[in-house]
Chain A
Amino acid sequence: MKTVMVHPQRCVGCMQCQSACAVAHSHTQTLYGAVFEEPRPAPRIHVGPGPGNLAFPNKCRHCDPAPCMQACMPAALWRDIPTGAVLVDPSRCINCGMCAMACPFGVIRYRADARTPGRTVAVKCDNCVERQKEGRVPACVETCLVGALEFGDPNEILRDESRRLAREVSLGIRQAPAAIPQRPEAVELWRAMGDAAEALGPGG
């Protein structure tokens, strides 16, 4: 199953994924249109501060088994078998709050969303299943310029990387796995500033 992998160490906190997500779940499908929709479409990915005030894009992991699905009394949460995505059926949602309570990642919100005007329902990441049907990657991944969000089969991504590593190590190109992750200097410097900020304490 393909899903969105989060590489938090790459995130620069631009929150583009958040607005791209809201636009992808709007009627107009454009930024200029979406901000004038009523109700305004809600983002399903949430960028918040992590350690050292570095940013972390938080979104549904589509867990299996999914605690939210187990907690859902009207069976409004269901799994789309082809994509593995955990989805909300807004017509069944009774806004009881159980799924958010069960979600260990804190990624379910309750909104009158663009798709359910007038009714407050659980709103969460749907892995952009509609876009996937059109052969497109989720909107947050498409918009992420720094590679903090990646769409793919997590097992495949990890397997490919370990194969590449094994090949390189066996050829003597690299000495040790410590060589990954290779990050550009600009990012390293920025991260170092993050460490300094952390050393200064909260809000530093």
Chain B
Amino acid sequence: MAVKIEEARELSVTQDAPGLIDKARTDGVTTVWDRHEAQKPRCGYCDLGLSCRICAMGPCRIDPFGEGPQQGVCGADADIMVARNLGRMIAAGSASHSDHGRDLVETLLAVGEGRAPGYTTADEGKLRALAAEFGIDTEGKSSQALAGELADAMLEEFGMRKGRLQFVDRMPPARIAVWEKLGILPRGIDREVTEMMHRTHMGVDNDYVNILLHGFRTALADGLGGSMIGTELSDVLFGVPQPATSQVNLGVIRPDQVNILLHGHNPVVSEMVARAVEDPELVQRARDVGAEGIGLVGLCCTGNELLMRRGIPMAGNHLMTELVLVTGAVDMMIVDYQCIMPALPQIAGCYHTKFVSTSPKARFPGAEHREFTPENAEALAREVVREAVDNYRNRRPGAVAVPSKPVAQMTGFSVEAVLTALGGTPQPLIDAITGGRIRGAVGVVGCNNPKVKHDRGHVELTRRLIEHDVLVLDTGCAAVANAKAGFKVPEAADLAGPGLREVCRSLGIPPVLHVGSCVDNTRILHLAGALANALDVDTAQLPLAGAAPEWYSEKAVAIAFYVVAAGITTFLGVVPPILGSPNIVKLATQGLDEVIGARFVVEPDPARCSDAIVAHIDGKRKALGL
């Protein structure tokens, strides 16, 4: 049963989604919105963080209205229960980013050991700089040798040897002092996650403040550990992103070509696929089956990685991943891991799309599994692309519909690229901020969540922020939303306030800068550290903020915690499951300011959120005497 297009427009602010939501229903395909509806009403206890399934004495719940139990079987009260659940969310998020980072270290190690055909150290300068940062003598060493040594040093970061992570030193001394005082300097990526799981076992850490402090430490092990390694090594292996132009939205799928979608987070597989589609033999094969060529399109953060480094067009973010398949024009979807809805293989099955999983960690019922390793990736990528080309013939023309035209966007703003654009030093940016042309900067990041009208949180917040001369840096799903809204072209400077407009025009950049995937939030952290160091202040003093208007994932919780740990107040558009503990709510939204110099703000309304962020930035400026 087809829904009226008006109903579909209630679900997404984008131009391309409503038509395909409508098509999905016509085709009898169940989407994330249908399942979200079917889950209503959601469990109020879980929603408030007041349910605990950690041990088998339970499951337990605490009645938020005071009628029923006020303690779990073990005696945990609302504070302990909420803290445990939150701690485990942070641990899961940190673990996800860090495991992603480790896969890059292992690829680098394979490069160093000469057993990864096709992979190279694409950016030798960055390799050498990182090696030096890790205290490796680079003098006269080949890049292959350095790759091996750097990989070894980084693997050390996961275990616990040195006492603190190397990248901590990228942050200003004032910030490090705060962490030292609180006892939350991250000691090892695996250790903090493990310790969080230990602490939240029944009968270990029962002080909610203590659990939350360790939450910050666990999150820092992500931001200055797993995620940052993921970003930096992706740059080493596949190149440091440079500004480039590309396209975004479902319109990037051209029905007349073989379309391969890359979905997930890790560039290790997708980079090889990107190389394979350029193989003339495979391109000829595509022509032979009647296609115009092979189109490679990205989704989610794998898409962001490809977009940043290769300008490969971006089809959409989290809530678009199903709709992309509904176009009927996708011949293959290749996935690695994270945020890949288990529903996707089923939807692929409704069309002719082949769904290929590639990681031993992430298997999907209904998928064809092709396990990629550094050793086999180059050859396997070609094989998989060949299968995709051959699948073109199975298209059902009646089922194909691509209802929109692509939007242009500019991408590739790595820290290095930003500094290059500024002439090699952050000084022009600092001058623009101190001079007031740029009021401040906000990282608008995070996922999509069907609780929020798709992309509305990102787009409306970003639009308002740039109107107020706030420079926006974006990553992940937020980046896709903003690109689709047309904020990522230099002409979008017209949408910005007068100060930001002038800066953007002079540099030829858009008012919203794409800095990458969700692990690339560490680029923002890195940049904040560099700015603070240049000004000789704490990051907490800078006119910065973080915002996750549509977050859903545990990874987003870890990110929010390391951003707040860095002294950057973070605004959430979706309520985290902590409201069951008024003490924790008070701590997170008020008390933290005194302890760590930043706090969480929950504000689902983009307009009010923008006002709050601007007020927050103005407060920071005033304190700095600006």
Residues in B neighbouring A15, C-beta threshold 8 A: 45, 61, 63, 68
Specify which chain A residues have a CB less than 8 angstroms from the CB of B159 in the assembled complex.
none
Tell which of B314-322, B524-532, B574-582 binds the partner: B574-582
- Total A-B pairs, Cβ < 8 A: 55
A20, A22, A35, most chain B CB atoms within 10 A: A35
Size category of the binding interface on chain A: 20 to 34
**B43 interface residue (CB < 8 Å to A):** yes
Q: Does A42 contact B (CB under 8 A)?
A: yes
The residues in A between 35 and 49 inclusive whose CB is less than 8 angstroms from any CB of B are: 35-36, 40-43, 46-47
Specify which chain A residues have a CB less than 8 angstroms from the CB of B48 in the assembled complex. Answer: 31-32, 35
- A46→B67 contact, CB < 8 A: yes
Task: With both chains docked as a complex, state the minimum distance between the C-beta of A118 and any C-beta of chain B, in angstroms.
Answer: 16
Q: Which residues of A contact B41 (CB under 8 A)?
A: 16, 20, 142-143, 145
Can you list 22 pairs linking A and B with CB atoms under 8 Å apart? A14-B43, A15-B68, A18-B67, A19-B44, A19-B63, A19-B64, A19-B65, A20-B41, A22-B64, A22-B67, A31-B44, A31-B47, A31-B579, A34-B65, A35-B48, A35-B65, A36-B582, A40-B65, A42-B66, A47-B68, A109-B67, A145-B41
**Do B580 and A43 touch across chains, with their CB atoms under 8 A apart?**
no
Known pairs A20-B41, A42-B65. 8 more at Cβ < 8 A? A15-B68, A18-B63, A19-B65, A31-B44, A31-B48, A35-B65, A40-B65, A40-B66
Q: Are B580 and A35 in contact (CB under 8 A)?
A: yes
A22 and B65 within 8 A (CB): yes
Please indicate which of the listed interface residues B41, B43, B63, B582 has the most CB atoms of chain A within 10 Å of its own CB. Answer: B41
Q: Which residues of B contact A20 (CB under 8 A)?
A: 41, 44
B residues in contact with A14, CB < 8 Å = 43
Which of B43, B47, B65, B575 has the most chain A CB atoms inside 10 A of its CB? B65
Residue of B nearest to A33 (CB): B579
List 10 tightest A-B contacts by C-beta distance, closest first.
A19-B44, A22-B65, A35-B64, A143-B41, A31-B44, A40-B65, A43-B67, A32-B579, A43-B65, A40-B66
- Tell me which residues from 24 to 69 in chain B have a Cβ below 8 Å from any Cβ of chain A: 41, 43-45, 47-48, 61, 63-68
| Minimum CB–CB distance for A109 against chain B, Å | 8
B64 contact set on A, CB distance < 8 A = 19, 22, 34-35, 40
Residues of B within 8 A of A31 (CB): 44, 47-48, 579
Within the complex, the shortest CB–CB distance from B60 to chain A, in Å, comes to 11
B452 → A minimal CB distance (Å): 15
* In the complex, chain A residues whose CB is within 8 Å of the CB of B67: 18, 22, 42-43, 46, 109
Distance between Cα atoms of A142 and B44 in the complex (Å):
14
Residues B497-520 near A (CB distance < 8 A): none
Nearest to B38 among chain A residues (CB) is A145
